[in-house]
Structure 1
Amino acid sequence: MKHRLSTVVATAAVGALLAGCGGGGPSSGGGKVSDDKIVLGVLTDLSGVYADIAGPNSVQAVQMAVDDFKKKYGDKAITRNIEVIKADHQNKPEIANTQAREMYDRKKADALFDVPTSSAALAVQTVAGQAKKLYFNTGAATTELAGKTCNPYTYEWAYDTYMLAHGTGSAVTRAGGKNWYTIYPDYAFGQDMQKKFETAIEGAGGKVVAKDPTPFPSDNYSTFLLKAPGLKPKPQVLGALQAGGDLANVVKQYQQFKLKDKGIELAIGLLFDTDIKAIGADKLAGTMFTTAWFWNVDAKAQAWADRFKERTGQRPTFDQAADYSAATHYLEAAQKAGSDRAADVSKELDGTKFSDFFAHNATIRAEDHRVVHDAYLAKVKDPAKASEAGDYTEPVKTIPAAEAFDQPSPDCHLS
């Protein structure tokens, strides 16, 4: 009985999501698709520092969206021939460029998804514009994607550095952490994070007393961490702006050198459940962070996360949840348009307002293709309060969509 009930709840949640994405059938069942099929490509880090955040389970998330779409529409689907392909960009922009061209041109991908690592994402965005094919970014955080490098073929679905910085940077500074030392990975994501955090910290009355770029990827941060206690003025906060495996290395060495005992608190720019698992919730308990989503934020999210766990054996990260959401909205837009042409799909997406299991109070801004939605200021939950393994997030407050993301950049011109 319990199993049947959970199945009903999960199925209802899927129905609610798909209905919220447009529902209904296409103008005529079995619309026009190029090459007699729709191909969705997942370009991700399959084996490196971001493989747990995105990686194989991002592929699973997109496949799950395809399976649910087929189940919903059956023979009325725009096409039953929907293929999911994958490639590993190894967090290198030159490889991302090559793989994106291969997927769009030879493998006939209609849309690409995921792409952690901002430098890789910027490369893919350029290729998407040249190929005139869609790209849904869920993995990279640089604001340039919806700023000076924006194009009509790229959608920003999950988060960005503005959201992260103005959540965590402002909150920690207002709580008393006025003087910061920030270390950031020396590529597009880290450079953008540093700028956004410094702006947020100064806006809240604080100051970045020192900042250092660090190699990417890296397993040794001792040079930077040992420097912190001797800085003048002494920082009250170490801002660790790394992500994935690099972040785990920073935190472990922060604890090894006992910087907390020396009066330097830790603030984290980007934190996923997979990071907390790798580092240990007991070691991070109470640490504040900003997130786009967490798997038990509400009943709808948990129902979807339960199905994801049944499929993969793991709880999803917000990157993986965003992949499902973006793929579902793409398919629903193609269904409604009766076409998989980029221009036709975009016409259905632009300006759409929606709330699904991932994005609450969301709008797909037509001006820059940024999806603005609620975000969450949170802290790592004390393991003693966890309801189950993987219950890591204790919400502090909801950041409304209008505050979570910046206004459209004057540098973005889609037309």
Structure 2
Amino acid sequence: MKRRLSTGVALAAAGALLAGCGGGGPSSGGGKISDDQIVLGVLTDLSGIYADIAGPGSVEAVQMAADDFKKKYGDKAVTKNIEVIKADHQNKPEVANTQAREMYDRKKADALFDVPTSSAALAVATIAQQSKRLYFNTAAATTELAGKSCNPYTYEWAYDAYMLAHGTGAKVTEQGGKSWYMIYPDYAFGQDMQAKFTTAVEGAGGKVVAKDPTPFPSDNYSTFLLKAPGLKPKPDVLGALQAGGDLANVVKQYEQFKLRDKGIELAVGLLFDSDINAVGADKLAGTTFTTAWFWNLDDEARAWADRYKERTGKRPTFDQAADYSAATHYLEAVQKAGTDKAEEVSKKLDGMKIDDFFARGGTLRAEDHRLVHDAYLVKVKDPAKAEEDGDYTELVDTIPAAEAFGQPSPDCHMS
């Protein structure tokens, strides 16, 4: 509860007043909603290498969730006052730290969403716990947020490195890509991806010939790509574990140096539709990858994506879809709790069954605050098979929720 009262007497009086409001049900008068307002903060990359993955599109997705919530409940909503605010963390953990404090403390955000870049996400999770406000990660892949860095105020909504590795890493190896050369960005996301992909490849009977950290961000990967053909033994697969604009640069230079002609296939750790658009579907056609969601999965996914496109002019990435899903279920939990007090909202979220356009067969695990849901092994379509612009993805296999995310980490301690 965001109170500005400072004396013990005033606090006691406020407590008595709240107790007199009774029942615990929703109140449009704001009796249990602090300042009679819910503030949703989107902390994202508004102009950098992840801006197309998340960025302004994520802000619009959260705004869309707020608009839909108000339309659904009308006068029965816990409050009609829902504000969406945004900030740019520039993919820097120190900036994310400062912006998260600003949004929670001065701008009174009840919950933060998005936060691409794992190092930034880990910083925000710490601030969420200190501030006792909720944070929904949709954009960062680090498994630490549901592992050793888990806390009662942080939720993992979309995907993580384990999901990606046990889809793409294992499947590509089983299909014949037995030896790998991995390049990964040298920060928390890349380090976690490299560890999880190594485990998955080796578990499937493959071998990692070499692995190199690369600068983050970077526009030049020539040193690493030219190294690949000379490795002993020569790898079957180049595992590119970058994301966003960095991944686009890797793929373009992979094509430039004709590594496929030299017998080295490309495997991508994390791929978004915005990346395919930037690189060109013709260059990525046939590339297998794992995703949390894609907009033409089925009629339900397409219907939501159509509404999103009407607002933005673009098809959504899975991160943007996850932001809408997370914001919607947060607001539903507030509605059920009749309060925006984080601890009470969490009681409604923990263990929640979720089966919406984004998360199929979903359960929000109380043990680690991970949303476990089906994931998808897909491949990039041949452009000749595309039914419309942005139709990039073809389903290969559905990975059931339990297999996609595994068991809760023993390193997670919520208390």
Question: Normalising TM by the smaller chain, what interval?
Answer: over 0.9
- Tell me the CA shift for residue 406 of structure 1: 2.1
Match of 2:283 in 1: 283
Match of 2:25 in 1: 27
Match of 1:14 in 2: none
Match of 1:234 in 2: 234
Q: Does 1:190 align with 2:190?
A: yes
Match of 2:76 in 1: 76
Once the two structures are superposed, what CA deviation does each residue of 1:69-118 show, in whole Å capped at 9, x if it has no partner? 00001111000011000000000000000000000000000000000000
**Long gaps (5+) in structure 1:** 1-25
The answer to whether the 8 Å contact 1:183/1:240 transfers is: yes
The answer to whether the 8 Å contact 2:26/2:339 transfers is: no
CA RMSD of aligned residues (A): 0.7
Matches within 5 A, 1:309-328: 309-328=309-328
- Tell me the CA shift for residue 262 of structure 1: 0.4
SS of 2:334's equivalent? Answer: helix
SS of 2:235's equivalent? Answer: coil
- Tell me the CA shift for residue 246 of structure 1: 0.2
Match of 1:170 in 2: 170
SS of 1:43's equivalent? Answer: strand
The 1:256–1:344 alpha-carbon spacing in structure 2 relative to 1, beyond 3 Å, is same
The answer to whether the 8 Å contact 1:44/1:55 transfers is: yes
CA distance in 1, matches of 2:382, 2:233: 32
Once the two structures are superposed, what CA deviation does each residue of 1:3-32 show, in whole Å capped at 9, x if it has no partner? xxxxxxxxxxxxxxxxxxxxxxx8244251
Matches within 5 A, 1:39-50: 39-50=39-50
CA distance in 2, matches of 1:68, 1:354: 17
SS of 1:210's equivalent? Answer: strand
Matches within 5 A, 1:2-151: 27-30=25-28, 32-151=32-151
CA distance in 2, matches of 1:354, 1:319: 17
SS of 1:96's equivalent? Answer: helix
CA distance in 2, matches of 1:217, 1:46: 15
The answer to whether the 8 Å contact 2:26/2:335 transfers is: no
CA distance in 2, matches of 1:224, 1:110: 44
CA distance in 2, matches of 1:354, 1:130: 28
The answer to whether the 8 Å contact 2:179/2:237 transfers is: yes
Q: Does 1:346 align with 2:353?
A: no
CA distance in 1, matches of 2:112, 2:260: 42
CA distance in 2, matches of 1:257, 1:239: 16
Matches within 5 A, 1:162-311: 162-311=162-311
Match of 1:374 in 2: 374
| Greater relative contact order, per chain length (Cα 8 Å cut-off, separation 6+) | 1
CA distance in 1, matches of 2:354, 2:77: 21
1:375 is matched by which residue type in structure 2?
A
Once the two structures are superposed, what CA deviation does each residue of 1:155-207 show, in whole Å capped at 9, x if it has no partner? 00000000000000000000000000000000000000000000000000000
Q: Does 1:155 align with 2:155?
A: yes
Once the two structures are superposed, what CA deviation does each residue of 1:305-340 show, in whole Å capped at 9, x if it has no partner? 000000000000000000000000000000010000
Give TM-score, length-normalised by structure 2. Answer: 0.93
Compare CA radii of gyration and give the structure with the larger one: 2
SS of 1:378's equivalent? Answer: strand
Match of 1:21 in 2: none
- Tell me the CA shift for residue 36 of structure 1: 1.8
- Tell me the CA shift for residue 354 of structure 1: 1.8
2:190 is matched by which residue type in structure 1?
G
1:27 is matched by which residue type in structure 2?
G
- Tell me the CA shift for residue 235 of structure 1: 0.3
**Long gaps (5+) in structure 2:** 1-23
1:55 is matched by which residue type in structure 2?
G
Q: Which runs of 4+ in 1 moved over 4 A?
A: none
- Tell me the CA shift for residue 300 of structure 1: 0.7
CA distance in 2, matches of 1:322, 1:413: 25
Once the two structures are superposed, what CA deviation does each residue of 1:202-242 show, in whole Å capped at 9, x if it has no partner? 00000000000000000000000000000001100000000
SS of 1:41's equivalent? Answer: strand
- Tell me the CA shift for residue 348 of structure 1: 0.3
Identity rate, percent: 83
The answer to whether the 8 Å contact 1:163/1:404 transfers is: yes
Give TM-score, length-normalised by structure 1. Answer: 0.93
SS of 2:225's equivalent? Answer: helix
1:175 is matched by which residue type in structure 2?
Q
CA distance in 2, matches of 1:331, 1:371: 16
CA distance in 2, matches of 1:406, 1:34: 38
Matches within 5 A, 1:330-341: 330-341=330-341
Match of 1:360 in 2: 360
The answer to whether the 8 Å contact 1:29/1:75 transfers is: no
SS of 2:183's equivalent? Answer: strand
CA distance in 2, matches of 1:259, 1:299: 38
- Tell me the CA shift for residue 35 of structure 1: 1.8
SS of 1:309's equivalent? Answer: helix
